[in-house]
Structure 1
């Protein structure tokens, strides 16, 4: 499997290519594929950040959101949830201290 993109420039690829990247963790880079209704109902785009060989994967409804996640403009869903939980805990502590 050859490299199709600059390591930090998201490349739009097929779902089968994306699956191979996830499986092999190669080539390194940022990848985006349009999802089919059969493969991921409700998701229209799948983004994979394999810049460090970890193949972090997220699903998105919009291509623009997938690209923004790949280039670090928005946080991943688990990070957003963890940050929201942390903020909620901080608020509770403030209330308890009053």
Structure 2
């Protein structure tokens, strides 16, 4: 379990580098004016580091007593990686 937590959190840390670029260009959502959709879009992208840190801390707290819960909680940042990184990767490769 410790190995899984360490490896997955290193991967989440490595995804901070492309996140900086994606977060920076996400502000282009405001090019056509301020709207609730643009604010939500930038906010969802902007909270990735906070979610990654919070889920890492909670997973380490649970890792001894509730290993399954720790594994599930540690997968939460993967929603950002796959939900945002997947389409961005697809657009750039194909």
On whether the aligned pair clears a TM of 0.5, the verdict is no
**For the pair shown, which has the larger CA radius of gyration, 1 or 2?**
1
Q: TM-score, normalised by structure 2?
A: 0.28
Q: TM-score, normalised by structure 1?
A: 0.27
Q: More strand per residue: 1 or 2?
A: 1
RCO greater where, 1 or 2, for CA within 8 Å and sep 6 or more?
2
